[in-house]
Amino acid sequence: MQGKITKVLNMKPAEILGMVEEAAGTRMFEERKDKAMKTMTKKDKKVEEIESVSIALCTKVVCTD
């Protein structure tokens, strides 16, 4: 038991946080959140691309009239 306590005391704060998150069961939700954020970022980029193409097409249509 003493060896485990010493190990925890020697851990870096990020390691301790990871251990507590894992024990509390919140790590799974953090991973899901990170995955969702990455997906949202990709979708936002696609929306920006579509908007720029739409603007370019509208400009082209207006310019040719």
Q: How does pLDDT run along the chain (65 residues), one tens digit per residue?
A: 678 888 888 999 999 988 888 888 888 888 899 999 999 999 999 999 999 999 988 888 776 55
Residue whose pair of structure tokens reads 């953090």 in the numeric block: 30
Q: Are 21 and 30 in contact (CB under 8 A)?
A: yes
* pTM of the model as a whole: 0.57
As a whole number of angstroms, the distance between CA 17 and CA 27 comes to 10
